């Protein structure tokens, strides 16, 4: 950027003892100001191009009308009487009204997010780093090399000392049974749902659609059936249980609920529950690539209330604008970069490939290539297209233009998969520290809660009071398969945090400095 270059030259000259004339400082400043306002003028001109082009047409029309002196009611009556068939005109207008009505009914129904809730575990489930390592040592399942490896991962992970692991992992030895896994699932799902129903004053009998996603724990009866049984939901409910779809499954679940709400003409509610189960998926071996999830994944769950009722627009927090899904599973490396398998000792775990970040970057680029035309202003699309043409036909080594997504979105919720994931997206999308603050603080406070992490992040932004009416929120999630999914929301009001939120008693402590 020019300002950075000028500043660097000045600093280097000062360091070398060279005095720069005053007028050269002034010229550098004026040059930077000119470039700044030139870009602002370009954005203003392109954004209002249609309006500006209509001005000459309006002026010509007004001049033409002013020159027509003999236009009166009698002329108009005779003109219509002798030159038009009133029946034809009436038929034409009836057709227009019918077409507009038909168009209105064929438009997809708006989907509103009335409210959402994030589960916060009890304090006795907290797992500070020192206790985590001490517990791993006492279990006797890890050798010294694996313990040292986990210490290094925890030190660099960006996780704080207040994240949570399930109750079964606090015992020595741990108790990863199906009954304790069910207990974890029940506590997180019912905890999030209870709070959601209280905050929205919703009778569970009103729910017409239920979608639950959990990647690694899929018992029989299903998790969705557990919810139906707990809250005695109605017998004709449309319930779905999504498994094995990774950390981006929350957006997939919303996509499914949206499609169902759009074709469901009877006004109804959809509830989406996103969680992950750690109890039966803790790795007790010494394969380094399988130990990383132990250090990152923590307990969490989110519950959303979606509606297709027009009356709910008044009380809803957000309107769903876009969902864009990208699946890179056709590529073998992408397919295996997050893979559940057995190690040489027969112990089951999820391995993370060293190619994970590269594959995530490619998936992100594919996703934003489809998302960009839907959300970016015309100015950014023209610049991107011009650069593409330049590279294609004239200059192969020209630097590709990265669209400024800060012009399209006010808030970013990047999946808190790990510190490296957040760093990579901050760099690739050219974001500012404030744009990734919610992701970093969520990772620090709650760890990687899988598909629910983007909702802990949105809850953080709400708790900070930053979301104003009309603001756009971009949620980006990555998951095994390999998938990158985006959801775009528009705030329908100045959003305030709901009662009993996950940040309610600690938001004033954040943001905190994260050591490198």
Query: Please, is 309 exposed, middle or buried when counting C-beta atoms within 10 Å of its C-beta (0-12, 13-18, 19+)?
Result: middle
HEC string of 289-350 equals HHHHHHHHECCCEEEEEEECCHHHHHCCCEEEEEEEEEECCCCHHHHHCEEEEECCCCCEEE
Pairing of strands 301-307, 112-118: antiparallel
- State residue 105's pLDDT score: 57
Residue 387: helix, strand or coil by DSSP? helix
Q: What whole-number distance in Å separates Cα of residue 437 and Cα of residue 142?
A: 34
- Can you give the pLDDT at residue 57? 62
Give the CATH number of domain 112-509. Answer: 3.40.47.10
What distance in Å separates the CA atoms of residue 53 and residue 359, rounded to the nearest whole number? 45
Angle 131-141-135 (CA atoms, 0-180°, nearest 5)? 10
Residue by residue, pLDDT tens for the chain (516 residues) are 334 444 443 444 443 344 444 444 444 444 454 455 555 565 555 556 556 566 666 666 666 555 554 445 555 555 555 555 555 666 766 777 767 666 655 667 899 999 999 999 999 999 999 999 999 999 889 999 999 999 999 999 999 999 999 999 999 999 999 999 999 999 999 999 999 999 999 999 999 999 999 999 999 999 999 999 999 999 999 999 999 999 999 999 999 999 999 887 678 999 999 999 999 999 999 999 999 999 999 999 999 999 999 899 999 999 999 999 999 999 999 999 999 999 999 999 999 998 999 999 999 989 998 998 899 888 888 887 787 777 767 766 666 677 889 999 999 999 999 999 999 999 989 999 999 999 999 999 999 999 999 999 999 999 999 999 999 999 999 999 899 999 999 999 999 999 999 999 999 999 998 876
Q: Which residue(s) pair with 319 in the sheet?
A: 112, 490
Show me where the domains of the chain are located: 2-49, 72-107, 112-509
Question: pTM here?
Answer: 0.82
Q: Which pLDDT score is estimated for 29?
A: 44
Sign of the C-alpha dihedral computed for residues 202, 206, 209 and 214 taken in this order: positive
Count each helix (H run) and each strand (E run) in the chain, helices first: 17, 11
- Residue whose pair of structure tokens reads 């030190």 in the numeric block: 155
Q: Which helix (H) or strand (E) holds 129?
A: helix 129-139
Whole-angstrom distance, CA of residue 46 vs CA of residue 34: 18
Q: 192-204, pLDDT tens digit by residue?
A: 999 999 999 999 9
Secondary structure of residue 243 in the 3-state scheme: coil
Q: Which two tokens stand for residue 245?
A: 């779809």
How far, in Å, CA of 492 to CA of 455, rounded?
17
Task: Give residue 95's Cα distance to chain centre.
Answer: 42
Q: What pLDDT does residue 389 have?
A: 79
d(Cα 314, Cα 219) in Å, to the nearest integer? 39
Q: Which residues are the active-site residues?
A: 247, 327, 411, 415, 444, 448
The answer to whether the beta carbons of residues 265 and 309 sit under 8 Å apart is: no
Crossing angle of helices 49-66 and 22-47, rounded to 10°: 60
DSSP string, 460-500: HHHHTT---TT-EEEEEEEETTTEEEEEEEEESS---PPTT
Distance (Å) of CA 55 to CA 42, 51, 347: 19, 7, 72
CB burial string 417-448: b at 16+ within 10 A, e below: bbbebbebbbeebebeeebbbbbbbbbbbbbb
pLDDT at 226: 97
* Burial degree of 85 (CB within 10 A; 0-12, 13-18, 19+): exposed
Q: Give the integer Cα–Cα distance in Å for 470 and 374.
A: 17
Backbone angles phi, psi at 364, to 5 degrees: -65, -45
| Backbone φ and ψ of 112, nearest 5° | -110, 140
């Amino acid at each position: 950027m020019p300002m950075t270059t000028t500043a660097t030259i000045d600093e280097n000259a000062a360091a070398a003892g060279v005095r720069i004339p005053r007028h050269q400082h002034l010229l550098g400043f004026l040059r930077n100001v000119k470039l700044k306002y030139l870009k602002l003028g370009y954005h203003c001109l392109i954004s209002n191009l249609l309006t500006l082009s209509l001005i000459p047409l309006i002026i010509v029309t007004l001049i033409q009308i002013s020159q027509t002196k003999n236009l009166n009611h009698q002329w108009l009556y005779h003109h219509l009487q002798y030159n038009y068939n009133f029946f034809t005109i009436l038929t034409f207008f009836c057709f227009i009204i019918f077409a507009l009505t038909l168009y209105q009914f064929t438009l997809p129904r708006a989907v509103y997010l009335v409210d959402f809730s994030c589960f916060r575990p009890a304090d006795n489930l907290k797992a500070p780093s020192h206790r985590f390592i001490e517990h791993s040592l006492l279990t006797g399942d890890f050798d010294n090399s694996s313990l040292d490896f986990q210490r290094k991962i925890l030190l660099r992970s960006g996780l704080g000392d207040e994240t949570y692991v399930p109750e079964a992992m606090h015992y020595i030895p741990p108790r990863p049974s199906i009954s304790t896994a069910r207990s974890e699932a029940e506590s997180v799902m019912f905890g999030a749902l209870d709070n959601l129903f209280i905050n929205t004053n919703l009778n569970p009998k009103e729910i017409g659609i239920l979608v639950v996603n959990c990647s690694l724990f899929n018992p029989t009866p299903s998790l969705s059936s557990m919810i139906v049984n707990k809250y005695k939901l109605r017998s004709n409910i449309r319930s779905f249980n999504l498994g094995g779809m990774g950390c981006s499954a929350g957006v997939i679940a919303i996509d499914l609920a949206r499609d169902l709400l759009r074709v469901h003409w009877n006004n109804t509610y959809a509830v989406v529950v996103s969680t992950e189960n750690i109890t039966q998926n803790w790795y007790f071996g010494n394969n380094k690539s399988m130990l990383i999830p132990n250090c990152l994944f923590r307990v969490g769950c989110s519950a959303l209330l979606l509606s297709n009722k027009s009356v709910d627009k008044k009380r809803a927090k957000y309107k769903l604008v876009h969902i864009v899904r990208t699946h890179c599973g056709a590529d073998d490396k992408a397919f295996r970069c997050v893979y559940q398998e057995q190690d040489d000792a027969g112990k089951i775990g999820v391995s993370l490939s060293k190619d994970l970040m590269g594959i995530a970057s490619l998936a992100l680029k594919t996703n934003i290539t489809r998302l960009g035309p839907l959300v970016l202003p015309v100015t950014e699309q023209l610049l991107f297209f011009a650069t593409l043409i330049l590279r294609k036909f004239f200059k192969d080594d020209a630097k590709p233009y990265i669209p400024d997504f800060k012009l399209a979105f006010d808030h970013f919720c990047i999946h808190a998969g790990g510190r490296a994931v957040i760093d990579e997206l901050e760099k690739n999308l050219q974001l500012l520290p404030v744009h990734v603050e919610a992701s970093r603080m969520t990772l620090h406070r709650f760890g990687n809660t899988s598909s629910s992490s983007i909702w802990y992040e949105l809850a953080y932004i709400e708790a900070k009071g930053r979301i104003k009416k009309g603001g756009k929120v971009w949620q980006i999630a990555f998951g095994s398969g390999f998938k990158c999914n985006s959801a775009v929301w528009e705030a329908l009001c100045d959003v305030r945090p709901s009662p009993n939120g996950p940040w309610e008693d600690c938001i004033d402590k954040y943001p905190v400095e994260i050591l490198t």
